[in-house]
Amino acid sequence: MTGLPLLPTIVVDFTGSGLVIFLSFMALRYSYFLVKLQPKNFIWGFLFYFCFAMAAFSISRGVGHILRIILVLEEQEALWHRLSPWSGGFNTLLMISVASATIYYHSGLAAYKAIRSEAEKLAEANRKLAETADELQKVNTYLEDMVEERTLALSKSEKKFRHFFENSKDMVYFCDIGGKITDINQSGLRMLGFDSPPEQFNLLSFFKDDRALDQYLAAISENGFVSDFEMELESSDGSARHILLSANAIFDKNGFMTGCEGIAKDMTRLRNMTDQLIKQEKMASVGQVAAGVAHEINTPLGIILGYTQLMMDDFDKTGEVYGNLQVIERQTKVCRKIVADLLKFSRQSGSAKIEIDLNEIIEDVLAVTEHYLNISHIQVSRRFTPALPRVIGDAEKLRQVFINLFNNAQHAMADGGEIIVTTSHDPAANEVIASVRDTGTGIADDIKPKIFDPFFTTKEVGKGTGLGLSVTYGIIRDHDGSIAVESPVPEAETGRKMQGTAFYVRLPVAVEKNAINEEQ
């Protein structure tokens, strides 16, 4: 064999085959560790398979080269020729496997990315689900505390509303669209004359004036509210109450009105006080006019009466002229009495006030009038409170007060009846109360506010001047007292309204001198 020496080639081939085997196994080892660290990583899995195929290929290729060198050196070339096709075929299969893996790498990588994206989404969903689970756990943990806290807040709010609802001095109510009251406080029940809600309880039935009812319904329907609406309610006992009403409509979620809620303030006392102040001003003005008129008329009446009496001495008592003079005298005296009543009404006459017993004053009046009342078939019932505190007053003027009241009671009972005279003491107001009640025809509501007006009378012409109650009113006011009328009168036992009229005279109790000295 001539030519170049083969030893360097053999050494390089032998060494290269060994290095290929060594390096391929080192790459396989590192890819194995990567797969072990991230078993689900597609790239590391592909790299491990690629290194495994290359390691197998390096063994097949390297061992084939080394085996060929050994067999050639030992002159076993025939054996090598028989093994080389198997070695080459095996190497070809391994190279096809590596090529196939390389060709499908991109498709596999895309699938891997898609799977990984879905996995990441799933992981994110799991993370959010875990967070939600944590929040739910916290909510479940603190749910009882939250519910308890909310319940306490609602209870406190409801307690405030209920306290306002129950303790309000005004009427607070809720009703449905038909006016049926669904809830009302105690002040409202008392205002309407009830102790407890009745079965049939409709607010609209208590409106005294139909026109006011129409205005209320129109305002609620058109505007959804009514504000400071002045009206009168008629309570279950028939008494009228002047109220100031504010109400709002209640709507459901669809905007349909289902009812209303409102507050009503009782203005009856204020209205009465206002009417009394107006009446006092009117009475004071009329009193001033009456005093001036009385003084102007009194002098010519005195002259007419005096000359009439002088002329009567000059004529025969059986003659016609004397009779005419008697008519003039009698009518002049009637005019003078009217003038005297006017002076009393205007409180221009003097007044001597001392401590008096009101029971004795009434007895003095009855001693004079009771016989005449009995003739008219009128019985007098006395219901005096013994040891009644004394009052400061003018005995003569107070007698005139009760004479006027008895006369009015007699006029109201043309066919007979009963007068009930009652006296009592009100310690709370420190007043003595005297009431004169009759069983007569009563006083109509439309004329009740006018009965104390001067010259107002329901008697026939010639039977009354209309000054009796006006004078009575002036005398009582002059004594720092008050007088009120009630008709019809409630029965004490049942509370039902009975026919008749009652006048209530209230006078302040006399202050004892010892008490005055202690105050000073």
Locate the domains of the chain by residue range.
7-103, 168-266, 272-345, 354-518
Which residue shows structure tokens 């005055």? 516
| Cα–Cα dist 76/53, whole Å | 30
Exposed/middle/buried for residue 121 (C-beta within 10 Å: 0-12, 13-18, 19+) = exposed
pLDDT digits (tens, 9 = 90+) for 455-495: 556 555 445 555 667 778 888 888 889 888 888 877 654 45
- HSE-CB at 237 with a 13 A cutoff on CA atoms is 19
- For 352, phi then psi, to 5°, come to -105, 105
Give buried/exposed letters for 14-28 (b at 16+ CB in 10 A, else e).
Answer: eeebeebbeebbebb
DSSP-assigned letters across all residues of 443-493: --TTTGGGTTSTT---SPTTS--S-HHHHHHHHHHHTT-EEEEESSEE-TT
Confirm if 494 and 502 have CB atoms less than 8 A apart: no
Rounded CA-CA distance 24/54 in Å is: 6
φ, ψ for residue 133, nearest 5 deg: -65, -40
3-state secondary structure 12-57: HHHHHHHHHHHHHHHHHHHHHHHHHHCCCCHHHHHHHHHHHHHHHH
Q: What pLDDT, on the 0 to 100 scale, is given for residue 431? A: 92
Residue 493, pLDDT score: 44
First to last CA, the chain: 164
What lies within 8 Å, CB to CB, of 252 at 6+ separation is 258
Fold for 354-518, please state it: Heat Shock Protein 90 (3.30.565)
Among residues 252, 263, 257, which one has the least CA distance to residue 169? Answer: 263
CB of 506 closer than 8 Å to CB of 483: yes
Nearest to 243 by CA among 278, 203, 282: 203
Q: Tell me the C-alpha distance between 59 and 25, whole Å.
A: 9
pLDDT of residue 282: 62
Architecture of domain 272-345: Orthogonal Bundle (1.10)
Q: What is the value of pTM for the model shown? A: 0.41
pLDDT of residue 94: 67
| CA distance linking residue 291 with residue 349, whole number of Å | 10
Taking only the tens place, the pLDDT of each residue in 278-302 is 666 565 556 666 666 666 677 787 7
Strand boundaries in 151-234, DSSP class E: 171-176, 181-184, 225-234
* Model pLDDT for residues 85-135, shown as the tens digit of each residue: 666 666 677 667 666 666 665 566 666 666 667 777 888 888 888 888 888
As to burial, measured by CB atoms within 10 angstroms (0-12 exposed, 13-18 middle, 19+ buried), residue 80 is middle
What per-residue string of b and e applies to 489-505 under the rule 16 or more CB within 10 Å gives b? beeeeeeebeebbbbeb
Place of tokens 């004529």: 315
| Residues of the chain with confidence (pLDDT) below 50 | 1-3, 348, 461-462, 493-494, 513-520
Does domain 168-266 fall under CATH 3.30.450.20? My reply is yes
